[in-house]
Structure 1
Amino acid sequence: MVARFTRWLLCLVGAALIGFAAFYFITKPAPFPESHWAGLGDPDIKNGEMVFWAGGCTSCHAAEKATGDAKLVLSGGLALKSPFGTFHVPNISPDEKAGLGAWTLADFGNAMKRGVGKGGEHLYPAFPYGSYSRMTDKDVNDLWGFLKTLPKSDNVAPPHELPFPFNIRLALGGWKFLYFNDQPRVVLANADDKIKRGQYLVEGPGHCGECHTPRDAFGGFLNGKWLTGAPNPEGKGRIPDITPGSKAVGSWSASDIANYLETGFTPDYDSAGGSMAEVQQNIAHLPASDREAIAAYLKVVPSH
């Protein structure tokens, strides 16, 4: 009897170990090899600055309520509250100890496009690599070049405050297995170059869906609900539906949307508020052609 129980227990332990090994193999961090980032050449700093504004880097990584040149000091520290705990935004200034000064392009690129940190660990998707995965390698290289021109900060952000089991990074591999990919969020037939550019900006560096798309209990986007509005991550109200069928902007023309992104004023002369005010100020740095491209995409994205 004892021998039978021992064999059963050993089989159970063996099965558990095999299952864990299979889970880890499927969900382990998967950075690009160093060779992936070779041969990109010198970064285009001017384009890198445009990518910086499109990505809204300063909105999370600058000190809270920073203005003027202080918005370019990416010292981190902002606390992002979520149903999974509080995330503290890191310092991404060129400081060698507190920031990214000791990182390589490969380190940065793998964080941006694969959600893998310098130490080979999974990153939490509070950092929107789920959107940044759609960025071109050139834009990542150019952004990296621009970030290295910015002021250094020695501020060290506190660690995340996450309860069990969300503090187990290994589980993030399962989240990536379910939700992470670099494919277009929507498939648009007969899209012209302007719409394709708008799709790239909205779905990639602009990461608009991170706030405007509802999520399931595990934090993944709900299928078929792209840009249809979601609870405000700051806790009050809702982030609006911005598809063509929405009450908020469905009646706006492409020109209305482009003007709003430039000036912050709606067709009714209301103004952008809340976190959108800062998003609009970032997008206002982009060339008019990019704002027009975003508007063109938003006018053809499917409504639900």
Structure 2
Amino acid sequence: MMARLIRILLCLVGLVVLGAAGFYFITAPDPLPESHWANLGAPDLKNGEMVFWAGGCDSCHAAPGAQGDAKLVLAGGLALTSPFGTFHVPNISPDEKAGLGSWTLAEFGNAMKRGVGRNGEHLYPSFPYGSYSRVSDKDINDLWGFLKTLPTSSNIVPPHELRFPYNIRLALGGWKFLYFNDQPRVALANPDDTVKRGQYLVEGLGHCGECHTPRDSLGGFLKDEWLAGAPNPEGRGRIPDITPGSQAVGAWSAGDITTYLQTGFTPDFDSVGGSMVDVQQNIAHLPAPDIEAIAAYLKAIPPK
């Protein structure tokens, strides 16, 4: 009887060990190999700057309250509050110690597209790699080149302050298993090149869904509610529905959306407000065809 009990216990332990090993194998950090980032050539700095504005890098990574040229000093330090705790946005300036000055293109690219840090650790999706996974390697290379031309900052950012169990990075592998992919957010019927460009900008670089799409209790997007509006992640008010079915933006024409993104004025001459101010100012740097593509995509997605 005792021998049988021991065998049962050993089998149970074995199953637990196998299950844990399987979980780790499935959810372990999965960076792209160094060879993936080789031979991309010299970065196009002009395009890199446009990628910078499309991605809104300064909105989070500039020091809080920075204005003008100071917004190009990506010193970090912004505190992002969430139901999981407080995330402190890192310094991504070219500083060798406090920023990304000692990083390689491969390390930067894997952070952007795979959510993997330079030490092989999972990154928290407060950094929107779930959207940036859709960005082309060329744009990553060009952005990296542009970032290295910006001013340095020696600002040391404190570590994240997260509650248990959210402070366990290993668990992020499970989150990625459930939510992380690089596929289109919505299926579009016969999109033309303009709409395809808009999809690339909105779903990838612009990471619009990070604020405009509601999430479940684990922080993953509600798949069928793409851009349908969500509680403000900072806790004040609500981020609007920007699908064609909304009562506000849904009634705007593609031209209205384009004008809003270029000037900050709505069709009824109200002005952009809240966190959208930075977004609009960044998008306004883009060439007109890109802004028109964003508007075309927003009119082409399913209404909610």
C-alpha distance in 1 between matches for 2:220 and 2:117? 20
- Superposed displacement of residue 190, structure 1: 1.2
1:30-73 deviation digits (Å, cap 9, x = unpaired): 00000001111000000000000000000000000100111001
Tell me, yes or no, if structure 1 residue 75 matches structure 2 residue 75: yes
**Root mean square deviation of aligned Cα:** 0.8
- Which residue of 2 is the match for residue 293 of structure 1? 293
In structure 2, what residue type is equivalent to 1:197?
R
Tell me, yes or no, if structure 1 residue 50 matches structure 2 residue 50: yes
Q: Which moved more, 1:11-20 or 1:124-133?
A: 11-20
Identical columns (%): 79
C-alpha distance in 1 between matches for 2:150 and 2:84? 32
- Which residue of 2 is the match for residue 170 of structure 1? 170
- Which residue of 1 is the match for residue 9 of structure 2? 9
- Which residue of 1 is the match for residue 215 of structure 2? 215
- Superposed displacement of residue 6, structure 1: 2.8
TM alignment of 1:1-304, pairs within 5 A? 1-304=1-304
- Superposed displacement of residue 263, structure 1: 0.6
In structure 2, what residue type is equivalent to 1:18?
L
Moved >6 Å (runs of 4+): none
- Local SS of the residue matching 2:225: coil
TM-score of the superposition, structure 2-length normalised? Answer: 0.99
- Superposed displacement of residue 10, structure 1: 2.0
Q: Mark the runs of 5 or more structure 1 residues left unpaired by the alignment.
A: none
TM-score of the superposition, structure 1-length normalised? Answer: 0.99
C-alpha distance in 1 between matches for 2:220 and 2:156? 29
In structure 2, what residue type is equivalent to 1:189?
A
- Superposed displacement of residue 236, structure 1: 1.2
- Superposed displacement of residue 250, structure 1: 1.0
- Superposed displacement of residue 9, structure 1: 2.4
- Local SS of the residue matching 1:81: strand
C-alpha distance in 2 between matches for 1:290 and 1:32? 29
C-alpha distance in 2 between matches for 1:153 and 1:237? 33
Q: Which moved more, 1:32-41 or 1:1-10?
A: 1-10
- Local SS of the residue matching 1:18: helix
- Superposed displacement of residue 202, structure 1: 0.1
C-alpha distance in 1 between matches for 2:275 and 2:242? 15
In structure 1, what residue type is equivalent to 2:286?
L
- Superposed displacement of residue 296, structure 1: 0.5
C-alpha distance in 2 between matches for 1:243 and 1:168? 36
- Superposed displacement of residue 299, structure 1: 0.6
- Superposed displacement of residue 163, structure 1: 1.1
- Superposed displacement of residue 187, structure 1: 1.1
1:6-27 deviation digits (Å, cap 9, x = unpaired): 3332222211111000000001
Q: Which moved more, 1:279-288 or 1:1-10?
A: 1-10
C-alpha distance in 1 between matches for 2:251 and 2:231? 22
C-alpha distance in 2 between matches for 1:296 and 1:59? 24
- Local SS of the residue matching 1:243: coil
C-alpha distance in 2 between matches for 1:40 and 1:285? 25
C-alpha distance in 1 between matches for 2:279 and 2:248? 17
- Local SS of the residue matching 1:41: coil
